[in-house]
Chains A and B, each alone.
Chain A
Amino acid sequence: MDDLGAFLAAYQTTIGFIGLNAMLALSVWLTLYTGQLTLGNAAFAGIAAYCSALLTMKAGFPFPLALACGAVLAAAVSVPLGATVFRLRGVYLAIATLAFGEIVRVAILAIPVTGRGQGLVGIPPKTELWHIFASLLIIAVALERLRRSTVGRAWAAIREDEVAAASQGIPVRGYQLAAFVLGALVAGWAGGLAAHFDFAIQPDEFGFARAVQILVFAVVGGIPNVLGPIAGALLFTALPAILQPLQEYRDIFQGVILVLVIVFLPRGLATILELRRTARLRTIGAEDVA
């Protein structure tokens, strides 16, 4: 037990980030599951991070309440954003969410209370590992149950063929928007936890690079179920920590793995668990992410 204690202490940050990244990956997974690519979830996490940090630091909010406020704010912002951009064809959606992310980053840099470029320091480090993993567990279970419910099946139909789904009575835009807003909520919760984990945050942490990173987790891990994004986050967060000498090449690995996965295993690594089904999907030409 002592050894475990020592191990945890030494790798605390990494382990914590595995959990946080897993939640962020799940948030992206939600919209990917409906067949859309959105690149705004890092920004949602950022909005919630700043909001919850400011609430605990300046307004003395209790920790859980601050987290909730941050997540709700992120979700609230996502509603008008989603309503506006989901009418657009896929590539426009990606661009719009990307632009949104940048607007958030610029806004953070411009508003004095956020500490601008220096970031926000001195955030009370209230997040414990168990907060992170309890949240992850609850979110993962909830999302998996959602995926197997009518809503999740409708999402799968939308991903397969939007036109056909609509003609069966599925309100396509509404369901996609729901996934998007739920994703923002989850990303926001993770953002709030992240802010109180490392005691300082900076605008760059929630920019385009981060959005791409969590996309990689979700895509590489795979979308058939919630284990995929979690596995993807685990792989990419733990690996650089373990392979210390290869830190430098982390981005190259991520890039190479991303391309390899998209080309050869489009539904992600999780499909290794369902090789037969994947092979069947391949014969009918339906093996892609969207």
Chain B
Amino acid sequence: MDQIYNAIFIGSIYALFALGFTLVFSVLDILNLAQPALFTLGAFVALFAMQQGVPAALAVVVAFLVCGIAGVMCDRVAFAPLRRRSAPPLSAMISSIGVSLIIIRLIQLKYGPDLQAYPAGTLPAAVFSIGGLQLDTLRSAIIALAIGLMLGLTYLVRRTRLGRELRALAENPRAARILGIDVERAIAATFFLSAGLGGVAGVLYGFATNSPFSQMGLGFELKAFAVMVVGGMGSIPGAVLGAYILSFGEIASLTFLPSELRDAFAYGLLFAVLVVRPRGIFGQRAVDRV
């Protein structure tokens, strides 16, 4: 039972993180490889805030805002100029690698490469039971928040004007422009949300493990790719579904795999999907006819 709870917990974080990638990919067709850096940034922004005495809950909001703005700035600097001359997605991917290097290194310069910890006593440590299950406040709050954010995002995409604009952009950028949609503003919103969600995922993960460190984004990055490939690149419901498939699969695989190879499950799944059905569950065609 505890395993299931764990799977829900870790799946929620995978989902938040992957959603950031998915948003940008669905609207712009590029893989923002700076996303893991924003994930890490979130955890450290929260750390910094809490070291100044900001309470944990507020630190999450701060992280969301700071990362969101950082995401928009990344776009201005590294992607927008490429868009202006219709550069292929490859260039944007490489550019995002550069951004990622800068952000991670800046974090390392301030905090070093080792594991950090959030200030003592700032994180809820209470445990409670429901019907024989041992649950803790922290992870429960994280799950609730993550699910809340996912629902919020779904609502935004389906019911709001911004959401309609984003979906229009994803379908057909030229038509969207002709219809009068302020494309640059919509793209900025996309990056804000994507980076914000990634940052929040980072904070939540940092809280849960209480050991944020500068390379934490990397392992997650690959899991996020597995999530997206399984669920279908560019599909929001796919990312959520893929996240839980992965997390439950990982927990299940622990019964027959040694723990060092736990990560291998994600990569194996990723590969299997790429070979058998690259488009994943909800994705677009992934194979070229040529």
Q: Known interface pairs A35-B90, A289-B91, A290-B90. Does A92 touch B78 (Cβ–Cβ under 8 Å)?
A: no
Q: Known interface pairs A88-B274, A254-B101, A285-B85. Does A110 touch B78 (Cβ–Cβ under 8 Å)?
A: no
Contacts of A276 in B (CB 8 A): none
Per-residue contact bits, chain A 151-169, to B (CB 8 Å; 1 contact, 0 not): 0000000000011001000
Residue in B31, B90, B98 whose CB lies within 8 Å of A255? B98
Q: Give Cα distance in the complex from A145 to B38, angstroms.
A: 43
> B168 in the interface, Cβ–Cβ < 8 Å?
no
Residue in A91, A249, A290 whose CB lies within 8 Å of B91? A290
Q: Give Cα distance in the complex from A288 to B86, angstroms.
A: 9
Q: Do A212 and B101 have beta carbons less than 8 Å apart?
A: yes
Residue in A89, A219, A252, A285 whose CB lies within 8 Å of B288? A89
Number of interface residues of B (CB under 8 A): 51
Q: Give Cα distance in the complex from A8 to B288, angstroms.
A: 50
> B50 in the interface, Cβ–Cβ < 8 Å?
no
Specify the chain A residue showing the minimal Cβ separation from B84.
Answer: A263
Per-residue contact bits, chain A 83-102, to B (CB 8 Å; 1 contact, 0 not): 01101111110111011101
Specify the chain B residue showing the minimal Cβ separation from A259.
Answer: B98
How close is A164's CB to chain B, nearest CB, in angstroms?
Answer: 10
> A248 in the interface, Cβ–Cβ < 8 Å?
yes
Contacts of A216 in B (CB 8 A): 97-98
Q: Do B274 and A258 have beta carbons less than 8 Å apart?
A: no
Size bin of chain A's contact surface: 35 or more
Q: Do B222 and A102 have beta carbons less than 8 Å apart?
A: yes
Contacts of A99 in B (CB 8 A): 222, 225-226, 267, 270-271
Per-residue contact bits, chain A 65-91, to B (CB 8 Å; 1 contact, 0 not): 000000000000000000011011111
Q: Give Cα distance in the complex from A163 to B102, angstroms.
A: 36
Q: Do A262 and B218 have beta carbons less than 8 Å apart?
A: no
Per-residue contact bits, chain B 188-226, to A (CB 8 Å; 1 contact, 0 not): 000000000000000000000000000000100010011
Contacts of B25 in A (CB 8 A): 91
How close is A285's CB to chain B, nearest CB, in angstroms?
Answer: 6
Binds A, one of B104-112, B136-144, B170-178: B104-112
> A126 in the interface, Cβ–Cβ < 8 Å?
no
Q: Do B97 and A91 have beta carbons less than 8 Å apart?
A: no
Q: Give Cα distance in the complex from A258 to B95, angstroms.
A: 7
> A106 in the interface, Cβ–Cβ < 8 Å?
yes
Specify the chain B residue showing the minimal Cβ separation from A106.
Answer: B264
Contacts of A110 in B (CB 8 A): 258, 260-261
> A200 in the interface, Cβ–Cβ < 8 Å?
no
Q: Do B267 and A106 have beta carbons less than 8 Å apart?
A: yes
Q: Do A252 and B290 have beta carbons less than 8 Å apart?
A: no
Q: Do B274 and A255 have beta carbons less than 8 Å apart?
A: no
Residue in A85, A102, A215, A248 whose CB lies within 8 Å of B97? A215
Contacts of B40 in A (CB 8 A): none
Q: Known interface pairs A84-B275, A91-B89, A289-B91. Does A106 touch B263 (Cβ–Cβ under 8 Å)?
A: yes
Q: Give Cα distance in the complex from A97 to B20, angstroms.
A: 21
> A37 in the interface, Cβ–Cβ < 8 Å?
yes
How close is B227's CB to chain A, nearest CB, in angstroms?
Answer: 11
Residues of chain B at the chain A interface (Cβ within 8 Å): 25, 29-31, 77-78, 81-82, 85-91, 93-95, 97-102, 104-106, 108-109, 218, 222, 225-226, 229, 233, 258, 260-261, 263-264, 267-268, 270-271, 274-275, 278, 286-288, 290
Contacts A/B (CB < 8 Å), 27 sampled: A35-B90, A37-B94, A84-B275, A89-B286, A91-B89, A91-B93, A91-B233, A96-B274, A102-B222, A106-B260, A106-B261, A163-B290, A173-B290, A212-B101, A249-B109, A251-B105, A252-B101, A256-B98, A257-B98, A259-B102, A262-B91, A263-B78, A263-B81, A263-B82, A287-B85, A288-B88, A289-B88
Apart from A103-B268, A259-B98, A262-B95, list 9 A-B contacts with CB within 8 A. A91-B30, A91-B31, A96-B271, A106-B264, A212-B97, A212-B101, A254-B101, A255-B100, A258-B95
